[in-house]
Amino acid sequence: MFEGLNLSDEEFQLYQKLIYDSVGINFTDNKKQLLVSRLRKRLEMTGLSSYAAYRRYVTDPNNAEEFVQMINAISTNKTDFFREPQHFDFLKHYVYPDLSKKKQVRIWSAASSSGEELYTLGITVMENFPNLVNQDIKILGTDISTKVLGEAEQGVYSEESVGPIPGLMLRKYFLKGQGRWEGHYLVKDELKKLIHFRRLNLMQPFPLSAAFDFIFCRNVMIYFDKPTREDLVARLAAQLLPGGYLFIGNAESLSGLKTTLKYVQPAIYRKVY
């Protein structure tokens, strides 16, 4: 057993600040137990015997890799294929008809987690762009967590997780696993090649030259406080092409934030200039 496995309120505050300053996630006081349970695994892995010792360890620049592991451990990665399906309906009816005529299309999923959102976007693009082969289309998937990015890049999903994908599309875009992959589905190359993966921290200036036709930044702002959201939305807006859209999660809203983006419908905003 480890000694000192209690996280004191004082130590918790130091973790709150460390996490907030580095990745923007706001571990409010009521989330102390959640943080304790997520950090415990890292204490066990590193063999460190107290939260204070672990914090000193991860903040040592020589242990940058453990800092990445800590972020992997504390982030919430819940996602699904075709999550919040009204966004994909909106794309199909109001966005894709124009984009399918453009030479170049750039799409960004800014907190893409384990890839379900990215591959859903890819499937809907392939289904709605009849001239795809003559277009230059890229979908960028970014996340802070190297763990989920690795899973996204691998593109292997359980039978349960592919449940929301309509049967016809599942057969068209996935290979059914056999042998040791029984019960799993692998994303086919033709879908995968639309997608690019990159680690990116939304709290830092975006190292991106592209301007995007639309950005998905869904179900991540709920972990950020208001000033962080306001700054992030301004930088996302700057990364959109004129007429481009920002999609956020259904549980999120930009109301009360200063932004140049115009409300279109719940969780959908547009850069109109």
Ligand X SMILES: C[S@@+](CC[C@H](N)C(=O)[O-])C[C@H]1O[C@@H](n2cnc3c(N)ncnc32)[C@H](O)[C@@H]1O
Contact with ligand X (CB under 6 A) among 55, 83, 270, 271:
83
Closest CA to 108 of 141, 149, 66: 141
- Give the C-alpha separation, 99 to 91, whole Å: 10
Q: Please report which residue ranges of 24-130 form alpha helices under DSSP H.
A: 32-46, 51-58, 64-74, 86-90, 96-99, 116-128
Q: Which is nearer to ligand X, 48 or 141 (CB)?
A: 141
Q: How far is the CB of 225 from ligand X (least distance, A)?
A: 12
Handedness of CA 255, 259, 265, 266 (dihedral sign): negative
Q: Is 134 annotated as a binding residue?
A: no
Which of 203, 208, 211, 264 is close enough to bind ligand X by CB under 6 A? Answer: 203
The only residue of 42, 218, 229, 270 in contact with ligand X, by rule CB under 6 A: 218
Q: Specify whether 98 is catalytic.
A: no
The verdict on whether residue 218 carries a ligand-binding annotation is: yes
Q: Tell which one of 49, 59, 201, 250 touches ligand X (CB under 6 A).
A: 201
Is 5 in contact with 50 (CB distance < 8 Å)? yes
Cα three-residue angle 96-98-103, rounded to 5 degrees? 100
Q: Tell me the HSE value of 95 on the side-chain side, using a 13 A CA sphere.
A: 26
Residue 48 or 269 having the CB closest to ligand X: 269
Query: Which of 77, 146, 161, 250 is the binder for ligand X (CB under 6 A)?
Result: 77
Residues 107-166 that bind ligand X (CB under 6 A): 111, 113, 117, 143-145, 148
Residue type, 245: Y
For residues 36 and 73, is the Cβ–Cβ distance under 8 A? no
Contact assessment for residue 42 and residue 35, using Cβ atoms and an 8 Å cutoff: no
Judge whether 38 counts as a catalytic residue: yes
Q: Is 230 marked within a binding site?
A: no
99 is a site residue for ligand X (CB under 6 A) = no
Comparison of 97 and 163: residue with beta carbon closer to ligand X: 163
Which residues within the stretch 245-264 sit at the binding site for ligand X (CB under 6 A)?
A: 249
> Which active-site residues does the annotation give?
38, 143
For ligand X, the binding residues (CB under 6 A) are 23-25, 75-79, 83, 111, 113, 117, 143-145, 148, 201-203, 218-220, 249
